[in-house]
Structure 1
Amino acid sequence: MEHYMDKFPSRVVQTDKGEYRYFGGTAYLGLQTRKDFIEHYTTNIIHYGTHYGASRASNVRFSIYDKAEQYLARYIGSESCLSLSSGYMASQLVSQYFSVTEHIVYRTPYSHDSLAAAGQLKVKDYEELKDALKRKRQEQKAVILLDSIDFMGLNYPDFKGLQSLNLQDCIVVVDDSHGLGVVGPKGAGVFNRLLQLPLGELIVCGSLGKGFGLQLGGVFGTKKRIEELRQTPIFGGSSPASPATLATLMESQYILERQREKLRSNLKQFCSLVKKPELFIHLGDHPTFTFMDEQLTTHLYDNRIIVTSFPYPTKESQLMSRIVISAFHTPRDIETLAEVINEY
């Protein structure tokens, strides 16, 4: 069932049937309506303007881009960083870049369509990928594309599929859209965790909007690779992220950490109360609980709770539902959700 909103859905949504508690979306840290966060953003819009549409290759440049990219690289743990206007642009920049090289590119199951590009080979599981890597020509460099948070338990938190592969000569590209700002020390995502694996090269890309509450994408990797991506027509020809967005991200870390603490508390409370964890696919400390039971979605809705629920990634796909715990929620919201699930 579709619901149309007139304002940002936080812990509750207003529908034509009245008010419902909302456990969906991707606003994990509940930043989008926080007064202090909005004040930072507003101040930066006044300073930098609402939008900057010039190419990053222009002869007139904002210094905030270099400052923010250096800051983000340190934050995530990479040598270098490239910022873009969205997570889709970030992931497409990387996937399109490899689509016109001599590399052989494998796309793993449940990876987001933002990583899709021409010439990729889709594999059904990591066993098929293992066999494909053994069969490829020795001189061919392999690129492996995956989502860190795939909602089906293939990757985060243990990345057992990757650990089963010989990755020493592989480039691993990870879309960490649902991890950046949310998981890892201080919300740094999975970069440092994956860096512990014996792989040839690591590139992390994706949206920072879900974890940091701002319209922004990023690519993280080695200085050499980031510089190569910086020289591509896609990067040079696209509008950058808003400079006000980058400035706000740099200035708001104390707010983000406070919200992450609240999120961790809400997640801990929910996990302690729910009596049927087997109903869900839950990925480590990520605040989402995936399920395919349409009757459970209906049960929640009948008890005035709306969750994320739609066929994914296409209209012909199986209905995927997801409970999302966020920093928006109050302890009473969490109690109510657990009580309704326990009644099912």
Structure 2
Amino acid sequence: MFTIDEFPGREITVQGKNFLYFGGTAYLGLQTDPEFQSFFIANVKKFGTGYGASRKSNVQISVFEKTETYLTNIVGSEACITLSSGYLAGQLVCDYFSQAAYQLFYAPNTHSALYRNGQFIYQDWSTLTDDLLKSLNLLNEKTPVIFLDSVDFEGVNFPDFNSLKSLPLEKIILVVDDSHGIGITGDYGGGSYRYLESLNPKELVVSCSLGKGFGLQAGAIFSSLRCIENLRNTQFYGGASPATPAAMATLLDADSIYPTKRKRLSENTRFFLEQVQNLALFSFTSGHPAFSFQNQKLSEKLEQERILVTNFRYPTSTSPLMSRIVLSALHTNDDIKKLCTIINSYNS
């Protein structure tokens, strides 16, 4: 474990030593961007540092609705609601479908934001598919709901979602965590919603963190107007404090920054793929800047060369070790060349 005293950008300092950092989830590098920060600081002065009132309050701040309309247009859904975090957004959706009318199926690698402790997670899509089809053949009145992550870091789901295409989706509700897609994948950073909607599921619900692609502490849920209104009318939503208004306003104000950052991130990802020689070391998703691996010695080699990557057990101390190289819009070509030189010289 490394303890630092500032936000981890492309470089971090640990005990007086400088390291290149290829970890975390700050894909666009917005958190340390001076222009982005100036928007946020100005909005903190206008809206305050936090907002503890319910969104159901008799006093409403207009920036929430404005931001939700903006996000709806980017993603391509009918409606959207925002919350204080992506995890809370996922838990709201999980709570909503934890009713007797639904039968829940959790795909491999589904993030814990979408379930509670003790939930059964399928280890492979073939078994999930068999069980789901058996359930449909029973002609019971329960509607099947499939929960999955869009970006599963193994290249199974995004971008083509082939595992879904053999299913009778017109009878199935899809709940998708798009936290690692929103802001960086899809047209205008809209993530996977439009593509998933084209598969014509019975209902589509997409939840996400806005902290990864948009660099702001908040979460969001996208779906039909009917579904969003149902979620809005729950005690779960009404009793929770919202995201800070300053964060919502900054998301709007920084609209002109995102395209340039996404372009740079795409260029960095392409450059990495050109430079690295042994892609077989990694599991990765086409069009995404994260490269997972299961080789502790490689992590140690990179650390010896003053490069730190994501490398810890997640989400609990007994979970498998998660090792991942994450590119961001902040990295330079020289950063990536150094990383790839070390990887290319590594002998497992």
Q: Aligned-pair distance for 1:329? A: 0.7
| 1:161 and 2:163 correspond | yes
Q: Aligned-pair distance for 1:124? A: 2.1
Q: Aligned-pair distance for 1:223? A: 0.1
Which residue of the partner structure matches residue 142 of structure 2? 140
- Structure 1 counterpart SS, 2:39: helix
CA deviation profile, 1:118-165 (whole Å, cap 9, x unmatched)? 785432211111111122132210111001111122211221111222
- Structure 2 counterpart SS, 1:212: coil
Q: Distance in 1 between matches of 2:344 and 2:158?
A: 27
**Aligned residue-pair number:** 343
Q: Distance in 1 between matches of 2:88 and 2:27?
A: 21
Unaligned runs of 5+ in 2: none
Q: Aligned-pair distance for 1:10? A: 0.4
Which residue of the partner structure matches residue 94 of structure 1? 93
Native 8 Å contact 2:186 2:192 kept in 1: yes
- Summarize the alignment of residues 103-114 of structure 1 with structure 2, pairs less than 5 Å apart: 103-114=102-113
Q: Distance in 1 between matches of 2:284 and 2:165?
A: 20
Q: Distance in 2 between matches of 1:329 and 1:118?
A: 37
Q: Distance in 2 between matches of 1:167 and 1:222?
A: 16
- Summarize the alignment of residues 174-189 of structure 1 with structure 2, pairs less than 5 Å apart: 174-189=176-191
Q: Distance in 2 between matches of 1:184 and 1:109?
A: 23
The sequence identity of aligned pairs, in percent, is 46
Which residue of the partner structure matches residue 34 of structure 1? 33
Q: 1:312 to 1:119 in 2, by over 3 A?
A: closer
Which residue of the partner structure matches residue 46 of structure 1? 45
- Summarize the alignment of residues 1-344 of structure 1 with structure 2, pairs less than 5 Å apart: 2-16=1-15, 18-117=17-116, 120-136=119-135, 137-138=138-139, 139-344=141-346
Task: Judge which range, 105-114 or 76-85, deviates more.
Answer: 105-114
CA deviation profile, 1:55-91 (whole Å, cap 9, x unmatched)? 0111111111111111111111000000000000100
- Structure 2 counterpart SS, 1:129: helix
Q: Aligned-pair distance for 1:313? A: 2.9
**Matched AA of 1:165:** L
Q: 1:278 to 1:227 in 2, by over 3 A?
A: same
Native 8 Å contact 1:104 1:120 kept in 2: no
Q: Distance in 2 between matches of 1:312 and 1:96?
A: 23
- Structure 2 counterpart SS, 1:205: strand
Q: Distance in 2 between matches of 1:157 and 1:199?
A: 17
Q: Distance in 2 between matches of 1:279 and 1:164?
A: 30
Q: Aligned-pair distance for 1:298? A: 1.0
Q: Distance in 2 between matches of 1:240 and 1:69?
A: 12
Native 8 Å contact 2:283 2:291 kept in 1: yes
Q: Aligned-pair distance for 1:317? A: 2.4
- Structure 2 counterpart SS, 1:326: coil
Q: Distance in 2 between matches of 1:297 and 1:148?
A: 26
Q: Distance in 1 between matches of 2:119 and 2:300?
A: 38
Q: Aligned-pair distance for 1:181? A: 0.3
Q: 1:125 to 1:14 in 2, by over 3 A?
A: same
Q: Distance in 1 between matches of 2:260 and 2:121?
A: 40
Task: Judge which range, 47-56 or 134-143, deviates more.
Answer: 134-143
CA deviation profile, 1:77-123 (whole Å, cap 9, x unmatched)? 00000000000010000001111342001111111111113785432
- Structure 1 counterpart SS, 2:288: coil
Native 8 Å contact 2:110 2:148 kept in 1: yes
- Structure 2 counterpart SS, 1:21: strand
- Structure 1 counterpart SS, 2:131: helix
- Structure 1 counterpart SS, 2:40: helix
Q: Aligned-pair distance for 1:316? A: 1.9
Unaligned runs of 5+ in 1: none
Question: Scaled by the length of structure 1, what TM-score is found?
Answer: 0.97
Native 8 Å contact 2:151 2:158 kept in 1: yes
- Structure 2 counterpart SS, 1:93: helix
CA deviation profile, 1:280-304 (whole Å, cap 9, x unmatched)? 1110110000000111111111111
